[in-house]
Amino acid sequence: MDQQYAIVNHCLQLTKQSDIPTRAKLRVEISLLQMKRLLLDDTLPQEARHGACCVSEFEDLLCHMRRIYGRDYQDGNVEEILDRIDALLITLVGNISRSGKSVDCLPARSAVKCAERRIL
């Protein structure tokens, strides 16, 4: 988990230093902070730390953010980042939920996607 947490901190740093509009920057920062909160949750099972939501997925997110922040901003770019973050959040929440804990701390965007996946 330490590696994932460090990568999320690096993603936050990149976001803060980026030239994307403030509103988009805040959306990404909020999602990343939510991810940090979930990573610190004591009920996160060990397999979530090393299994379905492993370090390589966090590294992929970081690489994707570097690519997007390294070129001209477009609305769709931030949506791509948020989609990747949401996928990781949903995986983390799913792992916590399976451990028996209720999770009601997702941002609205992620909560809707999580509910959609449960329906499908």
Q: How far is CA 82 from CA 21, 61, 79, in A?
A: 15, 10, 5
Confidence band for 76, pLDDT divided at 50, 70 and 90: confident
Q: What share of the chain in percent tops pLDDT 90?
A: 36
Query: Domain range holding 19?
Result: 2-119
Tell me: pLDDT of 104 over 80. Answer: no
Measured between alpha carbons, how far is 30 from 41 in angstroms, rounded to an integer? 17
Mean pLDDT over all residues of the chain?
77
pLDDT at position 117 is: 46
Tell me: pLDDT of 60 over 60. Answer: yes
pLDDT at position 116 is: 47
Q: What is the pTM of this model?
A: 0.75
Number of domains in the chain: 1
